[in-house]
């Protein structure tokens, strides 16, 4: 089925974070400590983050299949990928890759930036490597969440 990638509407925050939480629990939480799971939940439910989104300071794109959100990607600090999650039933359909491409195009064409950094979960490291990201630091475990710092110049 076809999907469309676009910037999220103000009224889509809750549905987007619901997809993020559900997908995090399935794929990332098993590698986290209980404190890490709590830390991630606190991050995505923080009213300050939602307010930053509503004020346009936290960019969030969604992949839509009809009326349903099937992917979420967000940027913070201009060129740091904060979240990238795709509904489990839509994995391996190119949605994550397309969302990353759209964000890179936005950064290049609208912001004048040609660099993107991210903290990859162990589950996602190979995905990002296939997109041309390089690991630049050893695996870390801040707040009980295992991550690999990666970056890409484009």
The reported pLDDT for the residue numbered 149 is 98
Q: With respect to residue 85, please indicate whether it lies within any of the assigned structural domains.
A: yes
Where does the pLDDT of residue 109 fall: very low under 50, low under 70, confident under 90, or very high at 90 and above? very high
- Note down the domain range covering 100: 4-114
Element (H, E) at 83: strand 80-86
Q: With respect to residue 24, please indicate whether it lies within any of the assigned structural domains.
A: yes
CATH code of the domain containing 11 = 3.40.630.30
43-100: pLDDT as tens digits: 999 999 999 999 999 999 999 999 999 999 999 999 999 999 999 999 999 999 999 9
Q: What is the per-residue burial (b if ≥16 Cβ within 10 Å, else e) of 6-39?
A: eebeeebbebbbebbbebbeebbbebbeeebbee
What are the strands of the beta sheet with 4-7, ordered from one edge?
A: 4-7, 59-65, 68-76, 80-86, 115-120, 148-153, 134-135
Mean pLDDT computed over every residue of the chain: 97
């Amino acid at each position: 089925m076809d999907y469309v990638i676009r910037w999220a509407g103000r009224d889509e925050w809750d549905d987007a974070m619901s997809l993020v939480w559900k997908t995090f629990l399935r794929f990332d939480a098993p590698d986290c400590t209980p404190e890490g799971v709590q830390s991630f939940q606190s991050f995505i439910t923080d009213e300050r983050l939602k307010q930053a989104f509503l004020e346009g300071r936290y960019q969030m794109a969604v992949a839509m299949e009809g009326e349903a959100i099937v992917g979420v990607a967000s940027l913070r600090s201009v060129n740091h990928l904060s979240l990238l999650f795709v509904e489990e039933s839509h994995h391996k359909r190119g949605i994550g890759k397309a969302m990353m491409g759209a964000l890179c195009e936005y950064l290049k064409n609208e912001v004048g930036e040609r660099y993107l950094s991210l903290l990859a979960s162990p589950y996602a490291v190979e995905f990002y490597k296939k997109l041309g990201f390089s690991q630049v630091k050893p695996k870390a475990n801040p707040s009980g969440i295992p991550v690999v710092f990666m970056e890409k110049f484009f």
